[in-house]
């Protein structure tokens, strides 16, 4: 059974760095073709893909966030991480991690429940 769960700080101030953790089970990020992506959704709005990391440590980022993103993984502990630097109120959203399967690309077939992040002074 595949499960994912996000964790984060809940609230942080503008200019700080947001650190998110995705803890998963039921698959391994060392398995060929496996990947984890991060997607966010402001309240009442649409979905925005942020970044993907693959089993071979290949990484893809959304260029709209202008080098503020860093994705990484800890294969031994079944975790993936996302850091967003210099946050502002526009980064307030629910952040999801999701599994993806494929060679370089694939659908997000399992999602976490999401974690709400508020940026406020």
Partner 1 sequence: DIQMTQSPSLLSASVGDRVTLSCKASQNIYKYLNWYQQKLGEAPKLLIYYTNSLQTGIPSRFSGSGSGTDYTLTISSLQPEDVATYFCQQYNSWPNTFGAGTKLELK
**Distance of alpha carbon 2 from alpha carbon 99, whole angstroms:** 9
Instruction: Provide the minimum distance between the beta carbon of 76 and partner 1 in the complex, in angstroms, as a whole number.
Output: 26
Residue numbers at the binding site for partner 1 (CB under 8 A): 37, 46-49, 52, 60-64, 96, 105-114
**DSSP state string for 25-59:** ESS-TTSTTEEEEEEEE-TTS--EEEEEEETT--E
Instruction: Provide the minimum distance between the beta carbon of 11 and partner 1 in the complex, in angstroms, as a whole number.
Output: 20
The tokens describing 97, both together, are: 């991690």
Instruction: Provide the minimum distance between the beta carbon of 9 and partner 1 in the complex, in angstroms, as a whole number.
Output: 20
Count of Cβ atoms closer than 10 Å to residue 75 Cβ = 14
**Distance of alpha carbon 54 from alpha carbon 32, whole angstroms:** 9
Q: Which is nearer to partner 1, 5 or 83 (CB)?
A: 5
Q: Which is nearer to partner 1, 45 or 72 (CB)?
A: 45
Q: Which is nearer to partner 1, 16 or 92 (CB)?
A: 92
Instruction: Provide the minimum distance between the beta carbon of 94 and partner 1 in the complex, in angstroms, as a whole number.
Output: 9
Q: Residue 85: phi, psi to the nearest 5?
A: -90, 160
Q: Which is nearer to partner 1, 97 or 119 (CB)?
A: 97
């Amino acid at each position: 059974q595949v499960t994912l769960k996000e964790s984060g700080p809940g609230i942080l101030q503008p200019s700080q760095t947001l650190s998110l953790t995705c803890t998963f089970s039921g698959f391994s990020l060392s398995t060929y073709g496996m990947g984890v992506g991060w997607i966010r959704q402001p309240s009442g709005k649409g979905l925005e893909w942020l970044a993907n990391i693959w089993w071979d440590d290949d990484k893809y980022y959304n260029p709209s966030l202008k080098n503020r993103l860093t994705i990484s993984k800890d294969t031994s502990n079944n975790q993936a991480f996302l850091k967003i630097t210099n946050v502002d109120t526009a980064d307030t959203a629910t952040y999801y991690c999701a599994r993806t399967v494929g060679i370089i690309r694939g659908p997000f077939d399992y999602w976490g429940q999401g974690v709400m992040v508020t940026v406020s002074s």
